Chains A and B, each alone.
Chain A
């Protein structure tokens, strides 16, 4: 399984939760801090991201960047 991580562009996130629901490995959650618009941005709270892009595919605010991690053998 591919390994990855996401970067949340916190200022754009509206805390809608669609990415949290879409993530097949459940590594996302709504954080408890607040952005300048008053929303609590999403965060990746544990390892295990498989770089599937489902979260970014769902995000209405293009607030997620996805990275694939390639481990050197």
Chain B
């Protein structure tokens, strides 16, 4: 009998680290995917991340590449400066939905419109996770949050924003796609999309934007398994998965 190890912790996952994320949080899955991709592309020494404000604010301790911490929502501006001064490096932003679709709306639109040759990984959990579960621009109609305890009312708060669809209207070429980490079948596709987004950058193609539908079991008041069932049953119908633009 012969045993072959077919899966182990990625090399880019900082050694011995215990993340502060709640059990079953999609941030961990997405970090792991990014680490696997960094390993597979052999870019650990050439990658610079920009960490967001939100639950992922400490991600620089978890993914073992160089990082800068951005002010809330400003990661695209910071990453622009880094990429323009170091065009040889692989630069990415990692941003939550509060960070990207609320406080950083201006920055994300303009980074895409300028076609900066970098990558954005946008983790959408339809809530402000870190601050205790307030409504985000991406919170679904009827979804409860601490600032809409009876559910989001479009009369008061408008409708949940579809960032991929909005950015895809820009004339500037880019790669814009939406994936999920709710189940293994989606995770496999998510990894392919993020890998392509990094490869686009290696090839000097232009801006790549990958939205990842995730969860927040703690603030949604669900178990991790229930939370990902909700991602699949309720988020995906409103935020359809697919490619919205691919450099055309």
Contacts and interface: CB of A to CB of B under 8 A. Distances in A.
Interface of A: 4-5, 9, 11-12, 14-18, 21-22, 37, 39, 51, 53-54, 56-62, 64-72
Given A59-B29, A60-B26, A70-B4, 16 more contacts: A4-B6, A14-B22, A16-B224, A18-B225, A21-B225, A53-B6, A56-B7, A57-B187, A58-B183, A58-B184, A60-B25, A60-B29, A61-B18, A61-B28, A62-B13, A69-B1
B9 A62 contact: yes
Contact of A69 (B3, B8, B228): B3
Measured as residues with beta carbon below 8 angstroms from the partner, the interface class of chain B is 20 to 34
B161 to A, nearest CB: 26
Contact of B184 (A51, A54, A69): A54
A72 B1 contact: yes
- 5 tightest A-B contacts by CB? A60-B28, A16-B24, A14-B23, A16-B23, A66-B7
Contacts of B3: 5, 67-70
A40 B149 CA distance: 33
A53 to B, nearest CB: 5
A15 B225 CA distance: 11
Contacts of B223: 17
23 contacts: A4-B6, A14-B24, A17-B223, A18-B24, A18-B225, A53-B6, A54-B184, A56-B7, A57-B184, A58-B29, A58-B184, A59-B29, A60-B21, A60-B26, A60-B32, A61-B28, A66-B6, A66-B7, A67-B6, A68-B6, A70-B3, A70-B4, A71-B1
B188 interface: yes
